[in-house]
Amino acid sequence: MKRGIVFKLFLLTTMLCILILATIFVGQTIFFKQFYMNKKVEDLESNLTVFEKEYHKNSNDIAKIQQLERDFAEENNAWITILDQYGNLKHENDFYIEIQLNEYYQKLLGMKTTKVPLYMIDEDNSVQLSESLLKNSQVYIIGFLKESQIIPVEIMIEPVEININNEVYSRSQNILAKSFTFRNKMLYEKIGGTRENLKEIYIANENSDLVNLGGEIINIQLPESNDLSNVIYSNSLFLEQIKDFQNKLILDKLDFPNATTQLINYEQNDIKYKILIAKSDETNSYIFSMTSLQPVDEAVQMIEEYYIYIVAFVSLLILLASYYYSIKIAKPLLRITHTTEKIANLDFSETIAVHSNDEIGDLSRNINLLSNGLSMYIEQLQQDIEKEKKLENTRKEFISGVSHELKTPLSIMKSCITILRGNVANHKKEY
């Protein structure tokens, strides 16, 4: 079965376009996600380096540092903060209690007062925390002592109280008073939080940093609702990762190479996150950043759903474009085929119209020249044949005429010779 060039061009063009469309679709759904992740991490690492340089320039300007953090978060869609060498928030000094240590602990620890950060307290206790924080309340803390800093594991607050009719009341609020216990659950569980009373834990040996201390609250600092730091405190996911990193620094003695950026993969509720931690030797701190990869998952899912309509529309467009393209390309070839068929039958009445200055146009011109040349040579040949025929006829007529003219005298001579040989009419030989 003969298949025309239009069908072949249409089929080839359609298959090629569908292959390209399928390649783009596979690339978008399979490789785009990985490309996006790699690109996002590269950009984040690059911007983290820029942030670190700016931080070194303004390490003493807290307002400038907070502005840098805001700009970084907006530009990179990522959370970022600065941690000290023990994993504490370095420039967020607005969420703590200051306690005056009891005399026993002053002698034991060699300091009179200390500040205890409260942002590591778990979120489900935040309401109780605001209710229980009263000046002059007694507080007992089990935590890690790092230089003069306390990293709390458990905080127990006993409000200032009075006894009326055998019932205990808070002196400042005139409500029934009760003790509150708060924990950094992650750190609490890692050091053996199954014990009934962590207050009994003391320094196990001289190399241990775990201490038990008590004192009185002399100052309370809570963040304002519109502060930048409040955004960090309310971001439980980000804060949990900071806690986990701090636990590794304290308990696992994490060995973090100098001047390097560590990349950590984290997943929660089927959402993937990237955590980047850069160590700054100049300021003895860590730059801690975290970004969500949820947008790329949503984008890939949307692309997959959207591609159903795109593929249908583009497939229809491919069919129409392929058909038009095939007709457009094949049309001059079909004209050439039609004309050359006539030339093959020695019909030179048609010429190919030339509309393009390309290879097909050159081919059309050459076929026209060939057709004209063949027509001219065939016409010349026909003329030569006619001349040859005329010459042949003239030759024949000449020979015929000459034969006729010679035939008569020859016949007479033949008759005479015959007579002489046959002795016919001897009496007339003399004549």
Report DSSP letters for 263-276, one per residue.
EEEEEETTEEEEEE
pLDDT in tens, 350-392: 777 777 777 777 878 888 888 888 888 888 888 888 888 888 8
| Predicted pLDDT of residue 24 | 79
pLDDT of residue 289: 92
Number of independent structural domains in the chain: 1
How far apart are the C-alpha atoms of 137 and 168, rounded to whole Å? 14
Q: What is the pLDDT of residue 181?
A: 79
Instruction: Report the C-alpha gap between 21 and 311 in whole angstroms.
Output: 8
Instruction: Say if 107 falls within a structural domain.
Output: yes
What distance in Å separates the CA atoms of residue 207 and residue 4, rounded to the nearest whole number?
90
DSSP 281: T
137 in a structural domain: yes
CA–CA separation, 118 and 152 (whole Å):
8
**Mind listing the pLDDT tens digit for each residue in 113-135?**
888 888 877 755 545 666 667 78
User: What is the phi/psi pair of residue 351, to 5°?
Assistant: -125, 160
DSSP-assigned beta bridge partners for residue 260: none
Q: Please check whether residue 82 is in contact with residue 90, taking contact to mean a CB–CB distance below 8 angstroms.
A: yes
Q: Which residues of 150-161 are buried (b: 16+ CB within 10 A; e: fewer)?
A: bbbbbbbbbbbb
Reported as a single tens digit per residue, the pLDDT across 136-194 is 888 888 888 887 788 888 888 876 654 545 554 444 444 445 567 788 888 887 776 54
Contact 97, 139 (CB under 8 A): yes
Residue 300 is assigned to a structural domain of this protein: no
Integer angstrom CA distances of residue 391 from 386, 387, 400: 9, 6, 14
Band the pLDDT of 229: cuts 50, 70, 90: low
pLDDT reported for residue 130:
66
The SS3 of residue 215 is strand
pLDDT digits (tens, 9 = 90+) for 269-310: 878 888 998 887 777 788 899 988 877 667 667 777 777 788
| Alpha-carbon torsion angle 361, 366, 371, 376, nearest 10 | 130
Query: DSSP letters of 10-22?
Result: HHHHHHHHHHHHH
What single letter denotes the amino acid at residue 6?
V
For 124-166, the DSSP string reads: GGHHHHHHH--TT-EEEEEEEEETTEEEEEEEEEE--EEEETT
Q: Maximum Cα–Cα distance for the chain, whole Å? A: 206
Task: Give the domain extent around 286.
Answer: 80-292
| Position 348 in a domain | no
Share of the chain above pLDDT 70, in %: 79
Angstrom distance (rounded) from CA 202 to CA 206: 11
What does the block give as tokens for 149?
């800093």
| Tokens encoding 236 | 């439980």
Would you say residue 93 lies in a domain? yes
Report the pLDDT value the prediction gives residue 205, as an integer from 0 to 100. 39
Residues 6+ apart with CB under 8 A from 112: 100, 101, 106
Q: Does a structural domain hold residue 16?
A: no
The 10s digit of each residue's pLDDT in 82-114 is: 888 888 888 777 788 888 988 888 887 788 888
| Average pLDDT of the residues in 393-421 | 74
Instruction: Tell whether 92 is covered by a domain.
Output: yes
Average pLDDT over residues 35-61: 85
Of the pLDDT bands very low, low, confident and very high (cuts 50, 70, 90), residue 202 is very low
- Closest by CA position to 59, among listed 271, 245, 282, 244: 282
Distance CA 371, CA 356 (A): 19
If you ran DSSP here, which 8-state letter would residue 168 be given? Answer: E
Asked if residues 242 and 119 have their Cβ atoms less than 8 Å apart, the reply is no
Is 28 a domain residue? no
Name the phi and psi angles at 116, rounded to 5. Answer: -115, 115
144: its two tokens: 């890690």
CA distance 407 to 175: 167
Query: Could you give the count of Cα atoms lying within 13 Å of 9 in the half-sphere of its Cβ?
Result: 17
Give residue 246's pLDDT band: very low, low, confident or very high (50, 70, 90). confident
Q: Which helix (H) or strand (E) holds 36?
A: helix 32-57
Residue ranges of alpha helices (H) inside 261-358 are: 294-344
